[in-house]
Amino acid sequence: MKNNNWTKQELVAYVLLYVAHSDLEETRKERKYILSRVDIDTYIHIKEEFDNDNDYQSLNKIIEGVKHEDTYSNNLDALFADIKLMAFADEGMDQMELATYNMLKKILN
């Protein structure tokens, strides 16, 4: 597990990847949405890191990343808005994405 000194863009990419993969599949529309929020270089290096992490490592990285990101440490509304938009990018939030969304809301609040 790498050190989690992410930029805001890296944190957004990682969280969106986490939710996109909650149903074990990242659709083309989800990928397109993620790339609308972060640049391709950020996406590629965060995707590589994400692919090497297990679920426990991913959650710990997200929790630590949110704690250290000034934008989100006191107000998570923008982050959860991004998560919702990404989840609906492929025509709707499925049960696994909804469960992941609710779990993140509970853990991060």
Q: Model-level pTM?
A: 0.86
Domains along the sequence of the chain with CATH: 8-108 (1.10.3680)
Please say if the pLDDT value at position 31 is more than 70: yes
Q: What is the mean pLDDT of the segment spanning 55-71?
A: 88
pLDDT band at residue 4 using 50, 70 and 90 as cut-offs = low
- Whether pLDDT at 41 is above 90: yes
Which residue, 24, 18, 90, 84, is CA-closest to 47? 18
pLDDT tens digits, one per residue of 81-92: 888 887 777 777
Q: By the 8 A CB rule, do 25 and 49 touch?
A: no
Crossing angle for the helix pair 40-52 and 28-37, nearest 10 degrees?
120
- Please say if the pLDDT value at position 46 is more than 90: yes
